[in-house]
Chain A
Amino acid sequence: MQALDILLTASFWVAAIRIASPLIFATMGELICERAGVLNLGIEGVMTVGAFAGWFTVYSGGDLWTGVAVAAVSGALFGLLHALLTVPLGLSQHVVGIGITLLATSLTYFTYRLVLPEVTSPPKIEPFAPLPIPGLSQIPILGEALFSQTPLTYLAFASVAVVAWVLYRTPLGLAMRAAGENPSAVEAQGISVSGIRIGAVMAGSALMAVGGAFLTMSAFNSFFFEMINGRGWICIALVVFGSWRPGKALIGAILFAAFDAYQVRLQQLTGGVVPYQIFLMMPYVLSILALVLVARRATYPRALMIPYQKGER
């Protein structure tokens, strides 16, 4: 019974939403890229870059929001590199993506060592403080979970709404979805497929980087190695889980985060009888199960991972 009581505590849901926030950003970023037809496996590296860039901006005396902006811009730059290699040059999206992840991660660690040669324990910054929303935050459990978070969490939820709006309600979103389905439809209507795809990868990478920055600026308050810890890869699975739809992907991110928060609490509950690795494994096992159940019937963007060359049939 104690195991189920956890689900009714506010602190559990607060943690779940906090864990979900970086996943939401990065999942939306990946979703934009894939909707336009580009698989972005650079996500893990771009998140590392964002985490470092945001943290370092604040550490060197910058404003918190400036940090977010710097993270987004650095992410977009790596996105531009990814896009140039995969879109106009049409290189393998798998290879480029993994290359970007390795490059971005290593470059970040290298830079960290260059600017902070002396430190042994990672220096802390003053992170985003929780910003309870008057009124709404008074609602029991729900209020605490959703409306007593930091501004970056609110931004994460806002990003879902914006991505959904852009994809389904604007001419730009129409062009993006078409570029991922049948690029020749886009070109035949006089729009540049390359332009759409490069833009999507840059915007998506910016979102991923902000997701990374969430970790240093709203969760752990400092930057350390390996801190992304596979979150990027989870987001790629979440996009599939969400059948490339922002709303479903959001639910997936929250579910995964809830599993994660739950396993930490279960570990404390069983008090070491069960090896803790079993609990660590749980969210991943459950995501694989969820993928098997949900995503087998998913219709993926037809032109995903297929480079488009103008005039080629």
Chain B
Amino acid sequence: MNILFGHYVADEGTVEAFGKRLPPGDPGAALKAGIGMVHQHFTLADNMTVLENIALGTQSLWRPRLDRAEARERLVRLADDFGLTIQPDAFVSALTVGERQRVEILKALYRQARVLILDEPTAVLTPAEAEALFRTLKLLVGQGLSIIFISHKLNEVMAVSDRVIVLRGGKIAGERRTAETTRADLAALMVGQEPTLPPIVEVPFGGRVLVLEEVSTGGKSSGAPLDRASLTLKDGEILGLAGVSGNGQAALAALLSGSEPATAGAITLAGEQRAPWSTLEALDLGIGRIPEDRHAVGTIGDMTVAENLILESYRSARFCSRGFLDWDAARKFAEEIIAEYDVKCPSPDARIRLLSGGNMQKLILGRALDPEPRIIVANQPTRGLDVGAVAYVHGRLIEARDRGAAVLLISEDLEEIMALSDRIAVISKGRISSVTKRGQRSMQQLGELMAGHGLEAAA
């Protein structure tokens, strides 16, 4: 959609609107052709009024005077026509998110858009605001506009659309008439065909190593906080936690790695009930972490490979004696990890920022797995990696499980969850569903749970 609107230039192919080819990379041309876009992150200037934001770019830059009267008149008329109440002279900084979105829509309508693209428009809205938005959209369609509504929420798509196109991995996975399809059908299209599963090796699980009972968090992490979530993790298993990002995964990972406290609930680690631990204690307790964001959290880009590798263990006697770091030991350790984990990097002294995502992730794996942790929290461990690196990460996680570690695999990718996990749970809005063995729930059922349907019933 950013190509359509001209923010990006397509590598191949062309865009045609109303029979005319659009020049690539030119939002102005897209606007002229009648394409309007409501970005997920609003493109409004907070220091200006609603009217000014809407008038921006609609009058020639070389006009000696901005014609406010005319702009205001048109805006008020438009707002009336579409029932989008707005105060033209309010500063955008004073508006609620829903109101700002209304301004964005009016901006497109003011430009006489005939095709309106909405990118995840409900992500920032309250349910009531979303309802109002749907009514507006129906009204717009009634007036002859075409609307592209981009969303990963199936219920919204079913509620608002006439026709649905499912995208998966940059390709069109299918096209349906909304009236002739079901949510399950779309869910299947979204996640792809049921993959052929590798034969399930029945590994006898060990004891319960970690039990969360009705645990809630305070919302320090991004996304939803945990809301009375319960989960049991056993030795020697991979527990897959599926869910759309932003539903409490960050809070769970932060809780387990010690960076966010629990506000309620009980945590039992290795049979011992205990208060949440600090990040330092997490390491000592044998909790290995593969963070979600390897650039921002997992590594320090401008430090070397060796420095990054000892970040979690530099206090140990291995790398530190009498308060001084032993760089020879650190470099030797880095060389071991580089060799053992097949990392392509020039030397232990290379800055980690310069490595590819896959190699960076291998280093993080090495750092997390080398001390043989008892619990491994892998949050989106393969996001953004190429196929080869994905397979490598998967192999290492399975290896850790076979050694007897408990692996919590948090992922948005259902195929990954289905392929790796011994048991599967779903997280949605901070709640965690009951746990089932792999194969007990179909992809569709998991997809439904991920979208937040029937979770209460299942839990």
Contact = CB atoms under 8 A, between A and B. Distances in A.
A31 to B, nearest CB: 14
Nearest to B52: A174
B233 to A, nearest CB: 35
B27 A182 contact: no
B311 interface: no
Nearest to B3: A311
A172 interface: yes
Contacts of A190: 26-32, 57
B193 to A, nearest CB: 32
A187 B63 contact: no
Interface residues of B, number: 37
Interface in B62-110: 62-66, 107
A172 B41 CA distance: 24
B56 A169 contact: no
A114 B94 CA distance: 58
Given A172-B61, A310-B7, A184 B43 contact: yes
A16 to B, nearest CB: 32
Contact of A171 (B27, B29, B66): B66
A191 B60 contact: no
Contacts of A175: 56-57, 61
Q: Tell me the interface secondary structure of chain A in the complex.
A: helix
A38 to B, nearest CB: 16
A256 B58 CA distance: 40
A174 B56 contact: yes
Interface in A183-204: 184-191
Contacts of B43: 182, 184-185, 187-189
Contacts of B352: none
A177 B92 CA distance: 14
A185 B61 contact: no
B53 A171 contact: no
B45 A170 contact: no
Nearest to B9: A311
A169 B66 contact: yes
Interface in A264-313: 299, 301-302, 310-311, 313
Given A169-B65, A170-B66, A191 B48 contact: no
B27 A174 contact: no
B7 A181 contact: no
A187 B28 CA distance: 8
A181 B64 contact: no
Nearest to A299: B47
Interface of B: 2, 5, 7-9, 25-32, 37, 39, 41, 43-48, 52-53, 55-66, 107
29 contacts: A169-B65, A169-B66, A170-B63, A170-B65, A171-B61, A172-B61, A172-B62, A174-B48, A177-B45, A178-B56, A181-B48, A182-B43, A182-B46, A184-B39, A184-B41, A184-B43, A187-B7, A188-B39, A189-B27, A189-B56, A190-B26, A190-B29, A190-B32, A191-B61, A302-B47, A310-B7, A311-B7, A311-B9, A313-B41
6 smallest beta-carbon distances between A and B, as pairs: A190-B28, A189-B57, A188-B43, A181-B45, A178-B45, A171-B59
Interface of A: 169-175, 177-178, 181-182, 184-191, 299, 301-302, 310-311, 313
Given A171-B61, A182-B43, A189-B43, 5 more contacts: A171-B63, A173-B66, A184-B39, A191-B61, A310-B25
